[in-house]
Amino acid sequence: MEKTANEIQKERIKEIEEKASQLLEKCETVTLASINENGYPRICAVTKIRNNGFSEIYFMTSKRSHLNGKATHFENNTKASVCYYIGGDSVTLIGDVEIVTDMDEKRKFDNDCDRNFFKKGIEDPKCYLLRFRTNEATFWIEGKFRTCKYKTK
């Protein structure tokens, strides 16, 4: 029995999504864009601490300033973008960042916390755990281009 066009498309999407997840596993550093206090995008390189495929990515940052910086940006506007690449393959994600405040959940990341920077570890009030959730992904992998939209939880 031949596959339908819809089945073929679903297989192709699944294949490129798997490759995008594998690509992210190889990336320690990615770029994260926030919207600054003047409405402009602000991109910075950040260390990815954990991820669930490319649909959910965790970062840590410091809340040093009440005027600017990622933590303040995400307190004011959750819209974000993440980009990562190796060689000629790249993935650009659009989604929202949530500042994780639940201490039980934050404690699961205590070993990922830089003790040189955060003396009290995850308990440091300036230590912010960020969870990025993807709602759109644009893939350029092995010369194949595709954009997909996702429902967030």
Least confident of 46-50, 81-85, 141-145, 149-153: 149-153
Tens digit of each residue's pLDDT (9 = 90 or more) over 10-22: 999 999 999 999 9
pLDDT tens-digit readout, 65-109: 566 789 999 999 999 999 999 999 999 999 999 999 999 999 898
Structural domain of 36: 5-149
What is the domain-level CATH number for residue 104?
2.30.110.10
The DSSP-derived string for 47-93 is: E--EEETTTEEEEEEE---SSSSHHHHHHH--EEEEEEEETTEEEEE
Mean pLDDT of 3-12: 91
Q: What is the pTM of this model?
A: 0.91
Mean pLDDT of 122-135: 91
Which pLDDT tens digit goes with each residue over 25-51?
Answer: 999 999 999 999 899 999 999 999 999
Domains held by the chain: number: 1
pLDDT band (50, 70, 90) for residue 153? low
Nearest CA among 101, 148, 149 for reference residue 129: 101
Q: Is 38 helix (H, G, I), strand (E, B) or coil?
A: coil
16 torsion bin: left (phi>0), alpha (psi -120 to 50), beta (else): alpha
Nearest to 138 by CA among 87, 93, 83: 93
Task: Answer yes or no: is pLDDT of 115 > 80.
Answer: no
| Distance from C-alpha of 96 to C-alpha of 36, rounded to nearest angstrom | 14
